[in-house]
Structure 1
Amino acid sequence: MLSRRALLAGGAAVAALPVDARAQDLSAAASSGVAAWPTQPIRLVVPFAPGGTTDLVARMLAQGLQDRLGQPFIIENRPGAGATVGSQQVAQAAPDCHTLLMSNIASHGIAPTLYRTLRYDAVKDFTHVALVVSNPSVFVANPRFAGPTLADVARLSREAPRGIDIASSGSGSSNHLLIVQFGQAANARVNHVPYRGAGPAMTDVIAGVVPLMSDSLPSAAGHIRQGSVRAVAMASAERHPAFPEVPTFREQGIDLVSDSWFGLSGPAGMPPAVVQRLSQSTLAVLAEPGLRIRFTELGGTPGALSPSGYTEFVRAEVARWAPVVRASGAEVG
């Protein structure tokens, strides 16, 4: 099994890929016998509500793919149960390559251990096409929240009669587990407040309904820059170049690193020739300078893995997160 570091190292290679014109894309498709695909609009299922990182990444990717493939990409948000509802629907769809999924760390890395009755296999029931982007998690707070540091958050949680609420995009996400791990590491009394996506959760943090949130950096970046929320700590190994003023968890005495990833997948059994074309088109979109700049501004790192490489990546992530989930004590029926 490839190491996670080796799998992610392929991300540097995407910058060297040529940015093909659509005519070149179609010519290559014709020579491989898959020119007939796509024959209709492609449904891209996002297993979270609008407004979060998964939704944002999906819309950025979809624009590039529909320009290259000549068919509209229709975003369909199907939130619920830690991204497993939408993922299950895609696993059960016909493998005609017209239904795709924004697979992610919650649905395909954490859910296999967290959910006792999960109705799909994260590897066998999907065709994994490409890793799209990865990024760190960040704790953000309502600007009026009194605790500017993690030590303050922990202290205030112990002083409050019922602890302190911290929101996330939903149960089973890496941001959820970061909340649990923070509570354990800092001896803090934290209450996880799951939402059906990062967008609704962020809305309530800005409004002061919930004081804190654990979020993926791309969906939080704009709000941090606007000052509608305040960044408390970044869960990266080092300070993030897009937000050098934000201290890490480690700098604040909490040895935690947490990141999220998002990729493109479909039902098991998709034709290999079409999968290869879709993978090549995805990597070409990710190599476009404008998209790379946008991802960088949001704190994301574009991926570059072949279908086999992304499949191995998912398999490795299931193994990586299993002991973390068990140690957290989190479990969903």
Structure 2
Amino acid sequence: MPFHPPRRALPALLLAGLAAPRVARAQAPWPDRPVRFVIPYPPGGSTDVIGRLVGNALGQELGQPVVIENRGGATATIGSLMVSQSRPDGYTLLLSNIASHAIAATLFRNLPYDPVRDFTHVALLVTTPTILVVNPAFPAHSLADVVRLSQQAPGGLDMASSGTGSSNHLLLVRFAELTGAKLNHVPYRGGGPAMTDVIAGTVPMMSDTLPSALPHLRGGAVRALAVSGPERSPLVPEVPTFREAGIDLINLPWYGLSAPAGLEPGIRDRLASAISKVLAAPALRARLAELGSEPGDMGPADYTRFVGEEAKRWAPVVKASGAQAD
């Protein structure tokens, strides 16, 4: 038989029905205000270039501004820690990367965050090769020249990177191990400041990611000796790979989108969907290609697993380098 509530119960039921829409209306859809996107490096480096490119496109897709905030220092761990301690409401995001979420786990004795557990990993954004560049006045024109000159110099040769324990630093360490080159690592707080000193001749050479170095290469401010990808980059086809020079060395830094742990699955999936659309856009893909970068294709589950695997893969490399940070 159909249920007929008592007449005196009808006002209460009607009030309850009217209250529900008011509760729903009080919960604004995400995002309803600007989103902060933390780049854990200073302005000017490849991380900043890629982060701003993706961040601007993501803001257009979400319908809210994505405000870039550079928080560099300590091999990208300062900005990463700040995000891990932020509210998981979708309004603070991080450009996670190989340094902050793979290398740092071994580099730091007491890393104040767990690269997997303390974040909600959303998507892999891009991968990009590394390139070895020198000041135009530096006499080396090949990797063999670098090895020879470093062995002839009384104290070896100085070589800059974006920071201690960065993938650029570990590339140099591995290069020295494989060739016997005598190199003195000069760490900087990001690729931008390091490049400034290489151009000025303060340091003769550095390892940098291709997107960061490319404008300086095209302007003639630096010269390139080798790229770290499995094959030559179409952007600098005249530059050989390390493997072509007889050095078995491949290095592909990566960048992803992450948020604090505990992010609501609905917001996480909304972000992942937005990133998928952003990376599929022909204009952005063309721009990434101009920078020598490849768009990623990992969603939340795959990227989370990837970050954990990368931390394990880099652990023995960091230990072998002897690099350590507090």
2:7: which partner in 1? none
The 5-angstrom pairing of residues 237-276 of structure 1 reads 237-276=230-269
1:71-110 equivalences in 2 (<5 Å): 71-110=64-103
SS of equivalent residue, structure 1 residue 259: coil
Q: Is the 1:222–1:298 contact (alpha carbons within 8 Å) kept by the matching residues of 2?
A: no
CA distance in 2, matches of 1:244, 1:318: 32
State the distance in 1 between where 2:323 and 2:254 align: 20
Residue 31 of structure 1 is matched in structure 2 by none
Map residues 23-172 of structure 1 onto 2, 5 A cutoff.
Answer: 36-172=29-165
Say whether 1:205 aligns with 2:195.
Answer: no
Larger gyration radius, structure 1 or structure 2? 2
Which structure 2 residue ranges, 5 or more long, are not aligned? 1-26
8 Å Cα contact 2:151/2:182 also seen in 1: yes
Q: Is the 8 A contact 2:35 2:91 kept in 1?
A: yes
Aligned with 1:231: secondary structure?
strand
Matched, 1:297 2:290: yes
After TM superposition, the structure 1 stretch with the greater mean CA deviation from structure 2, 79-88 or 36-45, is 36-45
Query: Is structure 2 residue 293 aligned with structure 1 residue 316?
Result: no
CA deviation string 1:287-330 (max 9, x = no partner): 11111011111110000211111101101111111111122222
For residue 277 of structure 2, what is the aligned residue in structure 1?
284
| Partners of 1:306 and 1:46 in 2: CA distance | 20
CA-CA distance at 1:93 after TM superposition = 0.6
Identity of aligned residues (%): 58
Specify the alignment match of 1:12 in structure 2: none
Using CA pairs under 8 Å that are at least 6 residues apart, name the structure with larger relative contact order, 1 or 2: 1
The alignment covers a number of residue pairs equal to 300
For structure 1, the residue ranges without an aligned partner over 5 or more in a row are 1-33
Q: For residue 233 of structure 1, give the secondary structure of its aligned residue in structure 2.
A: strand
Q: Report the secondary structure of 1:304's partner residue.
A: strand
Alpha-carbon distance, 1:35 to partner:
6.5
Shift of 1:39: 2.2
Aligned to 1:188: 181
CA distance in 2, matches of 1:50, 1:310: 25
Structure 1 residue runs of 4+, over 2 Å off? Answer: none
- 1:210 deviation in Å? 0.8
- Determine if the alignment matches structure 1 residue 223 to structure 2 residue 239: no
3-state SS in 2 of match to 1:280: helix
313, 323, 327: which one pairs with 2:320? 327
Contact 1:134/1:300, CA 8 A, preserved across alignment? yes
**Deviation for aligned residue 1:241:** 2.1
CA distance in structure 2 between the aligned counterparts of 1:85 and 1:162, rounded to whole angstroms: 33
Is the contact made by 1:88 and 1:119 (CA closer than 8 Å) also made in structure 2? yes
Letter in 2 for 1:199: G
CA offset at residue 100 of structure 1? Answer: 0.5
Q: TM-score, length-normalised on structure 2?
A: 0.90
In 1, Cα distance between the equivalents of 2:190 and 2:140? 25
